[in-house]
Amino acid sequence: MRIKHTITTSWKSVIVNKSRSALTILGIVIGISSIIVIMSLGDGASDLITSEIEGIGSQTIAIEPGREPTSPTDVAQLFSDSLVLKDIEALKVKENVPGLKSIMPEVYGGVTGSYENETYRFTITGVTEIMQSILNVEMTDGIFMSADDVKQSATVAVLGSKVKDQLFGADDAIGKKIKVKGVNLRVIGVLSSKGSSLMSMDEMVLVPYTTAQTYILGTKHFNEIIVQADPSIPLEQTVSDIKTTLRISHNITDPEKDDFYVSTAADLLDRIGTVTTALTVLLASVAAISLIVGGIGIMNIMLVSVTERTREIGLRKAIGATETEILSQFLAEAVILTAIGGIIGVLFGAFVSFCFAWAINQFSTIDWTFIFPLRGAVLGIGVSSFIGLVFGIVPARRAAKKEPIEALRYE
C-alpha cells in the first residue's frame, strides 16, 4: 500500500467518526494551547522587563549593599548597611575610578503622607539632581530638585503622578505642602505618569537624599548607589575599579567576603532572562502533562476503534493487506488526529494569548506586547505528532496482529 493511499484511507476513517475524533483531539488541543499561552505570556513579560532595563541605560551601574544573593537564605543580605558616605567620596576620586561620569546615592522607605484631610501611603525616595538625567525623568508640572536642594537638605518634594492624584486630585499641587512624619515638604514638581512598570515612579515621592536621611528615615547608610559610566572607557574596567575601591574602603582583602555587589544592565538582563526562561519551562512542563493525558486518551480510543473495526481488518488482510500496511494505517490515523489537535491548539493558544495582551493593554497601564511563540508552535505540532506515533503503536500493533479468519468471524 502506497503512502498516499495509506494517508487517504486513514483520513477517511478519521472523518467518518467525527464525534470520536473530536473528543480524541480535544485533549491535545488543551495541552498545546496551554503551552502556547504560557510561552507567549513568558516572552511578553521578558520583553517588558527587558525594555524597562534597557531604558535605564547600558552605561548605568548599580551598587547594592550586602553579599549578592545566590539562594533564598541570602535575602537578609539585602538589608545590609554597608554603603555609606565615605564610599561615595572614595568613588568620586578620579584616580580610583577613571570611568566614573556621575554618581548618585539612593535611600528609600515606605511612609504615609498627608495633605489636609487626604492621606496616602507611598515610597519616599531620596536621590540627587542627577536622577533626572540618569532615568530620563519627565515632568508634568514644576521643576526637579537642584544640587543646592541636596546640599542644604531642603524640605522639597517631587510627586509621582498617582501620589499627586490621591492627595490633590485635580487641584494644582505646586507650592503646597505635604506632611510626612511631622515634616512639611513643599511640592516643587510632579512627574509624568509612567504607568505600571518595573521601576514605576508614579507612587513615589522624590526628595533630596540628605533630607530623607536627616528628617524622614533617620539613616546614615544608602540602599543603593547608582553610577553612570564614561562610555569612552570599557564598562568592565569601571566595574573592576569600583569593586577595588570599595574593598579598600571596607578593608576587604578577600573578594569572597565582599559586603556589596555590583551589577550592570547586562547582568540584570542575564539574571532576569534566566529566571523567566526557567519559569516558562516549568509552567510549560506542567501544561505538557495534559499532552500525556491526551496521548493516553488517543490510545484508548484507538483500541476501541480496533475492536470496532475487527471485521474490516480481517477483510483487508484476507484480500492481501500485510501487517505492515495495517500497522501503518492505524499509526497514520493516530498521527493525523494529534497533528490536527496540535494545529488547532496552536491557533487557539495564539488567539487566547492575543486576548490576554489586548485585555492587559486595555484595562491596565502596562504596555504589553503580544508575541507569537514560533518555537512553541513548531514544538507543539511536532510533539503532538510524536505523541500520536508513540501512543498509537499499541493499538496499531494489536490491529496488525489479528488473524484474518478470527477477525472475519468477529461479531
Q: Per residue in 213-241, pLDDT tens? A: 999 998 889 999 998 888 888 888 998 99
Bridge partners, 111 (sequence order) = 122
Strand, coil or helix: what is 320?
Answer: coil
Res 189 pLDDT > 60: yes
Tell whether the model's pLDDT for residue 264 goes beyond 50. yes
Closest CA relative to residue 156, chosen from 145, 148, 166, 141: 145
Gap between the Cα atoms of 38 and 280, Å rounded: 7
Of 28, 31, 33, 49, nearest to 353 by C-alpha is 33
In the predicted structure, residue 75 carries a pLDDT above the cut 50: no
Q: What cell was used for 130? A: 542627577
Mean pLDDT of the chain: 80
Quick one: pLDDT at residue 207? 96
Backbone angles phi, psi at 399, to 5 degrees: -65, -45
pLDDT band at 158 (very low <50, low <70, confident <90, very high): very high
Domain regions of the chain by residue span: 3-53+270-409, 59-264
**Distances in whole angstroms, Cα of residue 324 to Cα of each of 16, 76, 131:** 23, 65, 73
What's the CA gap between 367 and 51, in Å, rounded?
10
Q: Lowest mean pLDDT of 10-19, 63-72, 151-160, 401-410, name the range.
A: 401-410
Q: Does this model's pTM top 0.85? A: no
CA angle 154, 197, 356 (to 5 degrees): 160
Is pLDDT at 198 greater than 60 in this prediction? no
- Would you state the pLDDT for residue 195? 61
pLDDT the model gives residue 4: 65
Q: Is the pLDDT of residue 1 over 60?
A: no
* Per-residue model confidence as pLDDT tens digits over 371-383: 888 877 787 777 7
| Polymer length in residues for the chain | 411
In DSSP notation, 284-311 reads: HHHHHHHHHHHHHHHHHHHHHHHHHTHH
